[in-house]
Chains A and B, each alone.
Chain A
Amino acid sequence: MRFGRTSKAVGIAAIAAIALSACAGNTGGNTPSTGAAKQGGTATVVEVNAFNTFNPNTADGNTDINSKVSYATHSGFYYIDNKLNVVHNDKFGKMEKVSDSPLTVKYTINDGVKWSDGTPVSAADLLLQWAAFSGYYDDADAKAKTGTSYFSYAGDNSGLSLTDFPEISNNNKTLTLKYSKPFSDWEIVLGGPGIDVPAHVLAQKAGLKDTQALIDFFKSKPRGDAKAPQPADAKLKAMSDMWNTGFDTKTLPADPTLFLSNGPYIVKSMNQDQSLTMVRNKDYNWGPTPSLDEITVRYIGSAPAQVQALKNGEADIIAPQASADTLDQLKALSSQGVTVDQGNQLAFDHLDLNYSGPLADQNVRQAFMKTVPRKDIVNKIIGKLDPNAKPLDSQIFVPQQAAYADSAKNNGSAAYQDVDIDGAKKLLNGATPEIRIMYNKDNPNRVDAFSLIRESAAKAGFKIVDGGLGKSDWGKALGKGGYDATIFGWINPGVGVSGVPQIFRTGGGNNFNQFSSADADKLMEELVVTTDRTKQDDLEKQIDKKIWDSAYGVPLFQSVNVDAYSDRITGVKLMPNQTGVWWNFWEWAQK
């Protein structure tokens, strides 16, 4: 019965819409702007994925949207800006390196910093984060399938696993971490960008008396030892279960302690798989002051739908996956006052050469690298999106990082700027090696790159074999042999250097092409124990040169990063890393 009526109304609206679409075609869309930016106002931001947990640190919950919401609703000792610098937030507290040997880091939380239920943010919250991130209590052995892994942390614990049980001051405001050996990324392993799980809530939910009981419990429990696994500790299990899944939800929990904020915003409402709304946290004064009163996040998967939502005023800020079509559509909106920002992401495609088979010979590798038409590849694949795009000239840095320019100049990449068929022929000296290139043939960009490389390399005498594999197989084939060169993508971590040895050290977990250089290994060993950022850059530049010198392969191009926002909003800035436009959400303002 209700359908009868509903459908009548739908029908009438539908007829009206159809009848009028003819004359509603092109009336332009300039909303009059109402003066300069001011305090207050609202904005709607579009995200691809739907929010599903208030703890974005778990392996299951570690999706970009959860992290972004957590970023806006929690604060910590630092955040990362769009130049990929670590910016300290001294209004929240102080994170300082008090000693270099042993590396000792002291975290002090300022007075007045509190959760939205009034409880002060204390060292206990930080201790809980440490316990979860460090894997201190885990005694699981993946191979032998013994022991227990408690907190399912998505990040890397190799840094914090070097620390002893932290020291906590009597006033519960200071936590001091002592590392057993220096750790390069000490600045970004703990205490930020958000301290997101409140210890007092977790303690209560896990059946502990209070926060002090939690601290005492953590203190009493010895470090887990995978070699001597203990039976699972029920109390710890209860706590880690709460941490792992207790904050998962798609609707606003009835219990407000499950979504406490200590940051600029606090979640006000959630509409499952549709939207999430945050309003300002009234108490917040320990960091950058946001200007918008309310931020709504809407989840839209497809890029064209995002663009149309922006056009229709249903969204103010979007960051769709970049494609030539999307970009054209966005540029067409400029008459409506939409601003489009374009830049690069941290993800980049690269060609790696195996240090085995026909490419074991450095001359052959160099010859091959000389034939790679990097500029053509960039023009063909990225040129449509970004006419100014240039090939990436470093294996370690991206142009957003200050050290890139210097490193690119000196690392030897200059020799591979243009295709040099004659030079390649000279190096090959008449040989015609057969090279099998493996890539994901379901990714059109990789297919294009492969065809251009094949065409060019054939001119120098290389016999190129198409070793492309389907979407589901190429990843498994990485590092398994069966090919001589491969085209795929890495994501530069942006901040932190502990990922470098992972790819380039002899036997590193992601060292698929068996690159091995004693010098580079030594530099990397030094890199991971260097705590000074300038010195890290210096070492990385040297490593970059070693990689290029040994004819490792060539980086090709960075993926394109796009955001667009309506003329209602100001202050949106492009960010290459996972945080995306959210990195400076406090600068967003409504005109």
Chain B
Amino acid sequence: MVTYIVRRLITAAFILLGASFLVYLLTALSGDPLEELRTSSAPNRQALMDARINLLDLDTPAPLRYFKWLGGAAQCLVPLGNACNLGKNIAGQPITEALGFALVQTLTLVTGATILAILIGISLGIVTALRQYSALDYGVTFMAFLFFSLPIFWVAVLLKEFGAIGFNDFLRNPEIPPAVALGIGAVLGLIGAVVVGGEVKRRLIVGGSVFAAVSLVLFYFSLTQWFRNPGLGPVLIAIMGAGIAFGITILVSGLKNRKALQSSLIVVGIGVIAYFAVQPLLSDATGLMIFLLAIATILVGVAVGYFMGGYDRGQSMRAAGLTAFLVGALVVVDRFMQAWPSYFNNSRVRGRPIATIGAGTPNIQGDFWIMSTDTLTHLVLPTIALILVSLASYTRFTRSSMLEIMNMDYIRTARAKGLSERSVIMGHAFRNALIPIATIVAFDIGALIGGAVITETVFSVRGMGFLFIDGLLHTDPNPVMGVFLCVAITAMVFNLIADLAYSALDPRVRIKA
């Protein structure tokens, strides 16, 4: 095992050297860094060109310049040494500094999107696999491929047009005309009927009730101007909490495990009481406090599960813990909604909350909730755009992997020995289906750092992608190499992790050193 890792790391180092040499040369030879100056009619054109030549060291041939760069970059390997030198960009900013900033920007932009895409993609994949060749399967497949084949710059521009500009216009006077409410209800009702599956009668009932519920809720929203003054309130939290408790219990243990269901429901009750208790506390919230509260919430849930016990104490603990976490999330969402009107009327926001560009409203001031809402309103569109385009691969991979597993002999055996469908799917099929997914996820995390060049451009975020493209446009290898180093190293490390994880997850795969 150790030999294997060492061997992989040594190979990786050589690949890195070769690839970096290639990338450096390609970048350096990709254009003329003096182009903009050549046709300058400034009397001191030559002096400006000399300055640029000096800055980028253009007198040294590119292959030699690479080794100079390598010399600086090699010092980054010295632990605790402060001599790390990746050169400077065309504006004279050290690359290490630019990278540090760009990395944070990119991670803020893509982390949420990637996690959400993985969660949604895997769930959709499993559901479509279980209902192979159903209307739902075709529908999801169609949508996944549709979004996959849409160019992201176009999706992003449409999102900005409707999701930001249109939605903000709507918020000025958030009234939903009855026809529109009925229309949305009908569409969602149809989706509901498709999702639920089964007999026609069952579909009609579900579709009809979704239609009625959604339309009514939209009427209510319109009447109360809910979108201007949104909120959940304890009653809604209790109702939604109960729904969550049932849902989680079904997934984790099945409703037969009464103790698990009871502990989940008890947790919901605690959550509603806690809703009132934590309100004053939440007014002075900080990120750390929310984090600690989340941990406390889960611990409470787990403790309830433990004391409720039952024939499978672990299941109760898991169900209650998860329920607790989700109910806690509802409380936080409610608090965000309470902050919404003051965010909406903030003099910097001027009643147009959903942003099309940047990572935050300049000069906005306020408490934790206002600031977080501001971040969220800036992140929401790029996140949706990234989710839409990356959903397809997760969905399809999970679906095919799940289908393969579902046809395995041991699944038939499991069914034959009388296990409930829940345990067959959740316990036997799902876990094994996740093994190949682990590989893609690891790759994608490596690709995360590379940024999303187009998304960054459209949403005007200056992250890794911008650094890369800007360096390329100026024929300035230093920023390009900085990005390349980060991306290459993470990609290789995560590849290694993926391989190791594979062998850890799948006992059939053994690494032979």
Contacts and interface: CB of A to CB of B under 8 A. Distances in A.
Contacts, number: 243
A503 B10 CA distance: 57
A502 B357 contact: no
Interface in A218-237: none
Given A6-B376, A305-B460, A499 B92 contact: no
A429 to B, nearest CB: 35
A256 interface: no
Contact of A61 (B38, B46, B91, B372): B91
Interface stretch (B29-37, B253-261, B417-425, B443-451): B29-37
Contact of B475 (A19, A271, A472): A472
B290 A5 contact: yes
A274 B360 contact: yes
B173 interface: yes
A331 interface: no
A60 interface: yes
Interface in B239-295: 287, 290-291, 294-295
Interface in B70-117: 90-93, 101, 105, 111-112, 115-116
B50 A142 contact: yes
Given A24-B167, A277-B362, A2 B294 contact: yes
A300 B294 contact: no
B48 A59 contact: yes
Interface stretch (A74-82, A88-96, A209-217, A490-498): A490-498
B336 A245 contact: no
B41 A24 contact: no
Contact of A10 (B39, B161, B383): B383
Q: Which interface residue of B42, B173, B329 has the most chain A CB atoms within 10 A?
A: B42
A473 interface: yes
Interface stretch (B141-149, B347-355, B400-408): B347-355
B176 interface: yes
Contacts of A148: none
Contacts of B172: 27
Interface in A9-36: 9-14, 16-29
Contacts of A8: 329-330, 332-333
B183 interface: yes
B460 A20 contact: no
A158 B43 contact: yes
Given A308-B165, A313-B352, A475 B39 contact: yes
A507 interface: no
B92 A308 contact: no
Interface stretch (A119-127, A149-157, A401-409): A149-157
A50 to B, nearest CB: 7
A308 B167 contact: no
B355 A274 contact: no
A9 B52 CA distance: 48
Interface residues of B, number: 88
Interface string A566-584: 0000000000000000000
B91 A4 contact: no
A312 B379 contact: no
Contacts of B329: 4-5, 8
Contacts of B290: 2, 5
Nearest to A248: B92
A560 B111 CA distance: 40
A27 B173 contact: yes
Interface residues of A, number: 86
Interface in B435-464: 457-460, 462
Contacts of B48: 59, 154
A312 B352 contact: yes
Interface string A297-322: 01111101100110111100000000
A274 B383 contact: no
B116 to A, nearest CB: 5
A203 B100 CA distance: 32
Contacts of B112: 3, 6-7, 10
Given A1-B295, A299-B460, A22 B180 contact: yes
Contacts of A509: 43, 45-46
Contacts of A299: 460, 462
A519 interface: no
Contacts of B50: 142
A475 B32 contact: yes
Interface string B320-358: 000001001110110010000000000000101011111
Contacts of B93: 52, 248, 250
Contacts of A158: 43-44
A21 to B, nearest CB: 4
Nearest to A66: B91
B217 to A, nearest CB: 10
B355 A314 contact: yes
Contacts of B363: 268-269, 275, 277, 296
A84 B419 CA distance: 85
A308 B160 contact: yes
A134 to B, nearest CB: 12
Contacts of A298: 357-358, 362, 460
A510 interface: yes
Contacts of B115: 3, 7
Per DSSP, chain B at the interface is helix
B92 A61 contact: yes
B234 interface: no
B184 A22 contact: yes
B346 to A, nearest CB: 13
A63 interface: yes
Contacts of A9: 332-333, 336, 376
Contact of B41 (A3, A14, A493): A493
Interface string A477-513: 0100000000011111100001100110000011000
Given A50-B462, A63-B91, A502 B43 contact: yes
Interface string A49-61: 0101100000111
Contacts of B359: 274
A21 B187 CA distance: 14
B393 interface: no
A446 to B, nearest CB: 12
A17 B167 contact: yes
A491 B41 contact: yes
Given A9-B332, A305-B460, A502 B45 contact: yes
A313 B350 contact: yes
B377 interface: yes
Given A63-B91, A312-B352, A488-B39, A14 B383 contact: yes
B376 A156 contact: no
B177 interface: yes
B166 interface: yes
Nearest to B37: A475
A106 B223 CA distance: 72
B169 A29 contact: yes
Given A1-B295, A14-B383, A300-B357, A312 B160 contact: yes
A10 B475 CA distance: 38
A59 B357 contact: no
B101 A272 contact: yes
A351 to B, nearest CB: 14
Contacts of B163: 17-18, 21
Contacts of B67: none
B294 A5 contact: yes
B124 interface: no
Given A299-B462, A308-B157, A4 B294 contact: yes
Most buried by A among B40, B116, B167, B360: B167
Given A20-B176, A309-B460, A502-B43, 4 more contacts: A53-B91, A60-B51, A305-B357, A502-B42
The 7 closest A-B pairs by CB, nearest first: A24-B170, A475-B38, A24-B166, A21-B162, A275-B362, A273-B462, A472-B31
16 contacts: A1-B291, A5-B329, A17-B384, A20-B166, A20-B170, A24-B166, A24-B169, A63-B91, A157-B44, A277-B362, A277-B363, A308-B164, A476-B34, A491-B40, A502-B43, A509-B46
